[in-house]
Structure 1
Amino acid sequence: MKSLLKALKRCAVAGAAALAVVSLQPVSSAQAAPAPVVGGTRAAQGEFPFMVRLSMGCGGALYTQQIVLTAAHCVGRTGANTSITATAGVVDLQSSSRIQVRSTYVYRAPGYNGDGKDWALIKLAQPINLPTLKIATTTQYNTGTFTVAGWGAASEGGSQQRYLLKATVPFVSDATCRSYSGYGGLIANEEICAGYTAGGVDTCQGDSGGPMFRRDSANQWIQVGIVSWGIGCARPNAPGVYTEVSTFASAIASAAAGL
């Protein structure tokens, strides 16, 4: 059932845009989502230099300058793959200064079957000389305020965005997330929820694979999640679900080292 629900939200579509941030406390029913709503506000050039747009309609982040971390459901099987184009270095996908590099290989999380383990790596034909986004290796940062950015749909069923958008959403505990209709299958320790009880701010179609990140103790960006699934976009009592990066940090590092 959950796999069907995923198709309602994050799965790669020709879109790209909504975003998120997490507060230090679980979301209460009294909380109202702040402006802006789904679609967020436009990111400034260079604000999130690690952001990558993938040609199949997903997002991603530079794990290294030659490897993109994205969602498993965005790619096919592990193996050689030269069909994906990664666009980076710009907030405007039509900018003449955009950097575009083809893929050479895809590594999909072992055992991925549509539920959990939603991560993958894409090796590029050449490095992109831009800052990378480090990933969380412990659960220390799996709370608080998260930022999400992407070129996905700015409304449920909407179309791809030309410009990179950003937004913020609050952390939702596993227990609270599971209490919502359709979220009973949430996989603890593999998935993390974020969103407002009232809805209004969320990731959406085309944001799949993009990073959910926050500041660490040194005030540097650190990735804690990967846009995975959810029911609709920005609906009340329907938070976004993200792959819990820290759970897979060792596996990601090992896989990357072998690419």
Structure 2
Amino acid sequence: MVALYSNEKFIGGGSLIAMDVVLTAAHILENVTAANTKIRAGDWDLISDREPFTPQQRLVKSIIRHEDFDYETGANDLALVILAQPFKQEDHIQTICLPTPDEDTANKCIVAGWGVKNFGDKCLSNVLKAIELPLVSQDECQDKLRKTELGPDFELDPSLMCAGGEEGLDSCTGDGGSAIFCEMDYYRNRYIQVGIVNWGMECGKKDTPGVYTNLEKFNDWIYKQLEALPAIQHPRRGEYKQF
């Protein structure tokens, strides 16, 4: 889990998929350039300098946004942030696995981030939150979202997935770009990132799931971008790394 800053201001979360590559949402990088962006890894309390594990910070070399990102619908909402120097791997700074189409995961997953605890709160959470959420099928999610002000004609883009719908438990404002990840069925303590926090109808409303970028749809896009980069510690297809 990493925190992204633009002009020294926190803008959202992201995840390490290689020691020099951060995966995040394109929407939090609107009007953001590589020159004014910094990434912090291994942090827990963003305003404390007395933590037992020391965070690391890196400058950004370049930003690769998905070319078909649609701000209005949230479709194709992902981006890669390429670091000027890789992070140093430590116990509290490691990479997470990317999904594969045939990988089985537990239905209960975890979303982490420094966003607000409740919709409408003015202050972000200084301490990293972790919330357990159930995954929701595409059809069920679309049906539930049609019962909101989105209306009966709402169409959930195929690049999106959903989780949550339990009262008081949700990702929220400021969590954009953060990971939702699930434990692998057959590998204890190994996690796959299945999605990226994208958008929602407020936060924590009963029967109103949150919407995430579905990473399974973007394996080819992610690896295509990584293969064009100089190899440092970039993951290979099918390679799993402990979270």
The verdict on a shared fold, with TM-score over 0.5 as the criterion, is yes
Cα–Cα, structure 1 residues 76 and 142, in superposed 2: closer, same or farther, change >3 Å? farther
* 1:168 and 2:122 correspond: no
The 8 Å contact of residues 151 and 165 in structure 1, kept in 2 or not, is answered as yes
**Does the CA-based 8 Å contact 1:104-1:125 persist in structure 2?**
yes
Deviations 1:84-117 (A, max 9, x none): 1111112111343321111110000111122310
> How many pairs does the alignment contain?
206
1:59 and 2:13 equivalent?
yes
Structure 2: distance between partners of 1:209 and 1:249: 17
SS at match of 1:94: coil
Structure 2 contact 24–78 (Cα < 8 Å) conserved: yes
Cα deviation per residue 1:187-213 (whole Å; 9 max; x = unaligned)? 13x1111113x4210000010011110
Residue 105 of structure 2 contacts residue 183 of structure 2 at CA under 8 Å; is this kept in 1?
A: no
Out of 124, 127, 132, which is 2:83 matched to? 124
Deviation at 1:258, TM superposition (A): 2.1
Distance 1:141 1:123 in 2: 29
> Which of 134, 140, 150 is residue 113 of structure 2 equivalent to?
150
Aligned equivalent of 1:87, options 24, 30, 40: 40
- TM (norm. structure 1) is 0.74
Q: Which has the higher strand share?
A: 2
Could you say which residue in structure 1 is the equivalent of 2:225? 255
Separation in 2, partners of 1:167, 1:75: 24
Aligned partner (choices 157, 180, 188) of residue 187 of structure 1: 157
Q: Quick one: structure 1 residues 238 and 137, their matched pair in 2 at CA, closer, same or farther if it must change by over 3 Å? A: same
- The Cα of 1:77 is off from its aligned counterpart by 7.6
Contact 2:22 2:80 in 1 (8 A): yes
Structure with higher Rg: it is 2
5+ unaligned residues in a row in structure 1: which ranges?
1-50
Identity among equivalent pairs (%) = 33
- 1:100-111 counterparts in 2 under 5 A? 100-111=57-68
For 1:205 and 1:186, the matched residues in 2 are separated by 20
Amino acid paired to 1:91 = W
Alpha-carbon distance between aligned partners in 2 of 1:176 and 1:256, rounded to the nearest angstrom: 34
Deviation beyond 6 Å, 4+ runs, structure 1: none
Higher relative contact order (CA 8 A, sep 6+): 1
1:141, distance to aligned residue in structure 2 (A)? 4.1
- Would you say the 8 A contact 2:105–2:182 is kept in 1? no
Partner of 2:178: 210
Q: Give the TM-score normalised by the residue count of structure 2.
A: 0.79
What's 1:9 paired with? none
Is 1:113 equivalent to 2:77 in the alignment?
Answer: no
Task: Note the aligned Cα RMSD (angstroms).
Answer: 1.9
Letter of the 2:130 partner, please give it.
K
Output one character per residue of 1:14-33: Cα deviation in whole Å (capped at 9) or x when no partner.
xxxxxxxxxxxxxxxxxxxx
Confirm or deny: 8 A CA contact 1:66 1:125 kept in the other structure: yes
Contact in 1 for aligned 2:40/2:55 (Cα 8 Å): yes
Q: Is the 8 A contact 1:121 1:256 kept in 2?
A: no
Distance in 1 separating the partners of 2:20 and 2:47: 22
- Give SS of 2:139's match: helix
